[in-house]
């Protein structure tokens, strides 16, 4: 059955859920950290492409982009993209932001330039890690710059 392009699901946009969710791109991998839970995630390939376009892009736009660049049809791609977005949402990393109509009223958005597809479509995968939770939760306020994170706090003088 063909999906109705006007359904609410295809018009929903998502957003990253605020300052407690941080991410860093490393080549074709994105590492996402939830600073509230100390859990971190890895997304690569198609999953990283979706993550990099998540803010302000509709499900339909994501599916159309992926089907135009990979050897896969909409019937294969859409359920896998929706499942991945559901997983990101259940982990608290993203939330529905707005509908296409509301976004259109605000004017055009800018999105990342699409890259050439790699031929065969691979299902997006969210890898979850909790082995560093204690370390990540020790200092809930993280300052970082071009040198990266963590930045060691300056040593405080010993009291005499």
Per-residue pLDDT tens for 105-139? 444 443 444 444 557 899 999 999 887 766 666 65
Q: pLDDT class for 93, splitting at 50, 70, 90?
A: very high
Q: Which residues pair with 119 in a beta bridge?
A: 70
Report residue 14: phi and psi, to 5°.
-120, 165
Please give the CATH architecture assigned to the domain spanning 8-109+116-138: Alpha-Beta Complex (3.90)
pLDDT, position 38:
87
CA 92 to each of CA 18, 43, 63, 139: distance values in angstroms, whole numbers, following the listed order:
10, 15, 22, 20
Per-residue pLDDT tens for 36-89? 888 999 999 999 999 999 988 899 999 999 999 998 899 999 999 999 999 999
């Amino acid at each position: 059955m063909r999906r109705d392009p006007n359904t609410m699901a295809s018009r929903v946009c998502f957003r990253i859920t605020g300052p407690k969710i941080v991410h860093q791109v490393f080549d074709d991998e994105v590492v996402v950290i939830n600073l509230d839970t100390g859990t971190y995630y890895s997304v690569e390939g198609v999953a990283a492409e979706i993550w990099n376009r998540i803010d302000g892009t509709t499900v339909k736009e994501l599916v159309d982009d992926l089907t135009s660049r990979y050897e896969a049809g909409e019937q294969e791609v859409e359920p896998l993209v929706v499942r991945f977005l559901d997983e990101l949402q259940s982990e608290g990393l993203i939330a529905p932001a707005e509908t296409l109509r509301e976004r259109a009223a605000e004017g055009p958005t800018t999105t990342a330039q699409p890259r050439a597809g790699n031929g065969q479509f691979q299902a997006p995968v969210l890898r979850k890690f909790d082995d560093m939770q204690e370390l990540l939760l020790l200092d809930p306020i993280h300052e970082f710059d071009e040198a990266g994170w963590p930045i060691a706090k300056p040593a405080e003088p010993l009291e005499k």
